[in-house]
Amino acid sequence: MQDVPRFKIKVFDGYCDDPDNTIDALTKFLEQETFVEIGFHGEAPALDQTYLGETKFIDKLKEICLQTKKEHSQVKIVSGNIIERKDIWPNLEMFYDDQHFLYGQTTTPNHKKAMHLKHFALFVGVSRWPRLWLSCMLYNEHNNKSLLTFNADATNKNVDKDKMFAKCDSFNLSECFETFAKATPIRLQERPVDHYFAHTDAYTLNEFYDRFFLELITESFHSGRTFCPTEKTARPILNKTPFIVQGPKDYLRNLQQLGFKTFSQFWPEYYDSYSGYDRLKEIKNVVDTISSYSEERLLEMLEDMQGILDHNYKTYMQLKPLDMEYRLLS
């Protein structure tokens, strides 16, 4: 059977890359081919929260189909979002690329913890507005208790700073941003600025997991109904480290459906009922509370949660390719 021609789209913070050229190229592509595939392989935006220019991607695609006289059934969308709404497009395939998440199984974990721990770690390679928000907050309010990397340009014009500044009543973000931007890039390893960490690179950070108590995970997709766990989530699980996740609503609930346990007995996880700024605000409340804990208390908590950490590590190491899709879609 002949391969169906594929048009690949890159999404950044809910917006398709280079919208004008993408619209022109996609229109020509549909004009020239009978059956096509639009690929979000390795990308997992919620399609109803994804924009092509100022128009929602799905609405723009309907316009282009009408213009090029294509039936919707002739255009297949392939998404990495395991839980995408099936009614969003009539010809839809979910394809989760689990190699990013599972590659850690082939690496050497770091299960040691130093007697003197930082409270938090946050590792950022590519900037997005929630990552920048959290990094600014951590740098300005908890810097001496944090292991922070921000190997990106804090002033990157592709980051939607209007969204970041629009709702912030919990600290002076504008002032914090100016201070933080001057300090970046912040590195633990020598990398070019805005270096894309391949999943094989990302696990080189394992060596630092003996230095801190808790990791703030900032997953790639954080709006709408989406779930696409990556190496960012796998790393603390592999290294038996507790975590808080900045991601889409119900991210923890979906992790639990895969068999993992989270940490509601140690701090509130109400934040998982929210997305966007509301989620960040709830996460900040938890961070502020944990920041007040002594090193002795952190070590006691690690001992108390060892059963959860061991369970998560075992669950992770036993996962096989396609297990995650099967468990979430069954």
The H or E element spanning position 329 is helix 323-329
Instruction: Using the structure block, give the residue that is written with the tokens 């951590």.
Output: 138
Domain boundary residue, one of 40, 64, 95:
95
Shared domain for 85 and 202, answered yes or no, is no
| Residues 215, 243 contacting (CB under 8 angstroms) | yes
- How many domains does the structure of the chain reveal? 2
- Structure-block tokens of residue 147: 């292991």
Shared domain for 54 and 161, answered yes or no, is no
- State residue 1's pLDDT score: 40
Nearest alpha-carbon partner for 52 in 69, 30, 27: 27
Q: How far apart are CA 74 and CA 67, in angstroms?
A: 14
Cα Rg of the chain (Å, integer)? 21
Q: How far apart are CA 240 and CA 44, in angstroms?
A: 26
Domain boundary residue, one of 39, 71, 95:
95
Any domain includes 238: yes
Domain boundary residue, one of 95, 118, 133:
95
Q: Give the CA-trace dihedral at 309, 314, 315, 317, to 10 degrees.
A: 120
Any domain includes 12: yes
Shared domain for 75 and 108, answered yes or no, is no
Shared domain for 301 and 279, answered yes or no, is yes
Any domain includes 262: yes
Q: Is 308 exposed, middle or buried (0-12, 13-18, 19+ CB in 10 A)?
A: middle
Residue 194, domain extent: 103-329
Shared domain for 160 and 252, answered yes or no, is yes
Shared domain for 73 and 110, answered yes or no, is no
Q: How far apart are CA 271 and CA 328, in angstroms?
A: 21
Instruction: Output the CA angle 229-235-237, nearest 5 degrees.
Output: 85
Q: Is 289 exposed, middle or buried (0-12, 13-18, 19+ CB in 10 A)?
A: exposed
pLDDT in tens, 77-103: 999 998 999 999 999 998 888 888 999
pLDDT in tens, 198-245: 667 889 999 999 999 999 999 989 889 999 999 999 999 999 999 999
Any domain includes 1: no
Shared domain for 15 and 146, answered yes or no, is no
Any domain includes 218: yes
Shared domain for 148 and 86, answered yes or no, is no
| Residues 282, 271 contacting (CB under 8 angstroms) | yes
Nearest alpha-carbon partner for 44 in 6, 83, 3: 83
317: how many CB neighbours lie within 10 A of its CB?
Answer: 13
Report the amino acid identity of residue 276. Answer: G
- State residue 115's pLDDT score: 86
Shared domain for 84 and 155, answered yes or no, is no
Shared domain for 190 and 297, answered yes or no, is yes
Shared domain for 46 and 85, answered yes or no, is yes
pLDDT in tens, the chain (330 residues): 457 899 999 998 888 989 999 999 999 999 999 999 999 866 799 999 999 999 999 999 999 999 999 999 999 999 999 899 999 999 999 888 888 899 999 999 999 999 899 999 999 988 888 898 899 999 999 999 999 999 877 776 666 666 666 666 656 777 788 888 888 888 886 655 445 556 678 899 999 999 999 999 999 898 899 999 999 999 999 999 999 999 999 999 999 999 999 999 999 999 999 998 899 999 999 999 999 999 999 999 999 999 999 999 999 999 998 888 778 776
Shared domain for 10 and 116, answered yes or no, is no
